[in-house]
C-alpha cells in the first residue's frame, strides 16, 4: 500500500519522491520502498550523531549489537576473508587501469583493502570515520588518514581509483556522496563500490529477517537497478557488476549454529575440504544467480 510522508518522515534519498510503500519495522525503525525509483531505505532516518556513535572498538571487536558480531573482524584467521572482495575487485580494476596511480578507499576501516592495493603497487589514501579503526589503519600502513572527505579537502580530479567497500549503505545522503566522489576522481577514473545486495533478501522467507537489515547501522539498500541508476545519473558508466558468495547456512537455526561452533574448533584441518566442497560452489552460485550477499559495482567516470 502506498503512503505519503508524515511530518517526521523525509522524501526518498535518491529521487525526492514523497510516495512509498511500507515494508515493515526493524529495531524500532520503519523500512520503506520508494514508489518511484524503488530505493529501500529507513524512514525517518536516525541522526548522524546516532550512527557515528556506533563505530567504536566494540563494533569491530564483536562486542556490539551491530557490526562484526561473532565474525572476528580483527582476527588474523579471518583477514584473508575480508580481503577477498577487495582482491577480486582490484584485479578487475587493473584491467581497466593497468597503470598504477592514486587510490582512495573511503571507509577504509582497519586498512585491509588498502593493504591489498599497496601490495599491488598503488599509491594509497584512506578516509575513516571511526577513530578506533583509523588509528589501527594508520599504524599498519604508515599513512595519515582523515576522518571525513570534507576534512580531507581533496582536490578535484585527483584520484585514479576510488573504492568504497560496504560504505554506501551507511550513508545518510547517498546522492551527495556519489557526487563528491565524482568530483575528486580523474576523468576516466574508476569507482568501485560494494554493498549488501538487496536481491539476496529474496532468499529469506521474511524480508525483516535479512541479516543486513540493521538500522540504525544500515540506512539504504540497493539492487542492481537502483545502484546503476544512481551512478549513471551522476556521470558514471557501469563497466561491471558482480556478486559475492551466497551462504545458505546463514538462515540456519540452533542446529546450524552448533555445527558452526564445532567447525571453528577444527577449522585448520577441514578448511581445505570446506573450500572445495562449499565455498567455491557457493561463490559460483552467488554470482551466477545474482543472489550473492554482496554486490560489487565497477564504474568509470565519463
Q: Where are the domains of the chain?
A: 48-301
The rounded distance, in Å, linking the Cα atoms of 2 and 146 is 42
Question: Which range has highest mean pLDDT (68-72, 201-205, 244-248, 265-269)?
Answer: 201-205
pLDDT average, residue stretch 25-54: 95
Using CA atoms, how far residue 237 sits from 5, 46, 169, 190, 230, in Å, is: 33, 32, 21, 9, 11
pLDDT value at 36 more than 60: yes
Mean pLDDT of the chain: 88
The predicted pLDDT at position 261 comes to: 53
Looking at residue 274, what is its pLDDT? Answer: 59
Contact status, residue 238 vs residue 297, Cβ threshold 8 Å: yes
Q: So what's the pLDDT on residue 213? A: 96
Q: 110-157 pLDDT, tens per residue? A: 999 999 999 999 999 999 999 999 999 999 999 999 999 999 999 999
Confidence category of residue 256, pLDDT binned at 50, 70, 90: very low
Categorize the per-residue pLDDT at 65 as very low, low, confident or very high, splitting at 50, 70 and 90: confident
Work out the percent of the chain whose per-residue pLDDT is above 90.
Answer: 73
Q: What is the pLDDT of residue 75?
A: 80
Question: Which pLDDT value is given to residue 6?
Answer: 53
183 pLDDT exceeds 70?
A: yes
- CATH fold of 48-301 reads Rossmann fold (3.40.50)
**What is this structure's pTM?**
0.88
The C-alpha cell of 17 is what?
A: 519522491
Q: Which three cell numbers stand for residue 249?
A: 547456512
CB 88 within 8 A of CB 116: no
Residues 1-14: tens digit of each pLDDT: 455 555 578 999 99
Determine what percent of the chain is predicted with pLDDT higher than 70. Answer: 84
91 pLDDT tier (thresholds 50, 70, 90): very high
Q: Which residue has the cell 592514486?
A: 102
Determine the number of helices (DSSP H) and then strands (DSSP E) in the chain.
12, 11
Which pLDDT score is estimated for 287? 76
Amino acid at each position: 500500500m502506498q503512503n505519503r510522508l508524515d511530518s517526521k518522515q523525509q522524501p526518498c534519498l535518491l529521487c525526492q519522491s514523497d510516495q512509498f510503500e511500507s515494508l515493515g519495522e526493524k529495531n524500532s525503525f520503519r523500512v520503506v520502498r520508494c514508489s518511484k525509483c524503488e530505493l529501500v531505505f529507513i524512514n525517518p532516518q536516525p541522526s548522524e550523531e546516532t550512527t557515528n556513535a556506533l563505530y567504536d572498538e566494540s563494533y569491530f571487536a564483536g562486542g556490539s549489537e551491530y557490526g562484526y558480531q561473532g565474525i572476528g573482524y580483527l582476527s588474523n584467521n579471518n583477514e584473508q576473508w575480508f580481503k577477498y572482495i577487495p582482491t577480486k575487485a582490484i584485479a578487475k580494476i587493473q584491467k581497466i587501469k593497468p597503470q598504477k596511480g592514486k587510490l582512495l578507499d573511503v571507509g577504509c576501516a582497519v586498512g585491509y583493502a588498502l593493504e591489498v592495493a599497496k601490495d599491488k603497487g598503488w599509491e594509497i589514501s584512506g578516509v575513516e570515520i571511526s577513530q578506533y579503526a583509523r588509528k589501527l589503519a594508520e599504524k599498519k600502513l604508515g599513512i595519515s588518514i582523515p576522518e571525513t572527505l570534507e576534512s580531507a579537502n581533496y582536490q578535484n580530479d585527483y584520484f585514479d581509483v576510488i573504492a568504497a567497500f560496504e560504505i554506501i549503505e551507511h550513508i545518510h545522503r547517498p546522492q551527495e556522496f556519489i557526487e563528491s566522489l565524482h568530483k575528486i576522481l580523474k576523468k576516466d577514473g574508476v569507482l568501485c563500490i560494494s554493498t549488501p545486495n538487496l536481491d539476496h533478501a529474496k532468499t529469506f522467507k521474511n524480508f525483516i529477517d535479512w541479516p543486513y537489515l540493521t538500522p540504525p547501522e544500515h540506512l539504504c539498500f540497493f539492487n542492481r537497478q537502483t545502484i546503476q541508476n544512481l551512478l549513471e545519473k551522476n556521470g558514471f558508466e557501469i563497466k561491471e557488476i558482480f556478486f559475492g558468495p551466497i551462504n545458505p547456512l546463514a538462515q540456519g537455526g540452533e542446529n546450524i549454529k552448533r555445527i558452526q561452533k564445532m567447525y571453528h574448533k577444527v577449522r585448520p584441518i577441514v578448511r581445505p575440504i570446506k573450500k572445495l566442497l562449499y565455498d567455491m560452489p557457493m561463490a559460483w552460485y552467488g554470482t551466477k544467480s545474482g543472489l550473492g550477499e554482496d554486490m560489487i559495482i565497477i564504474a568509470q567516470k565519463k
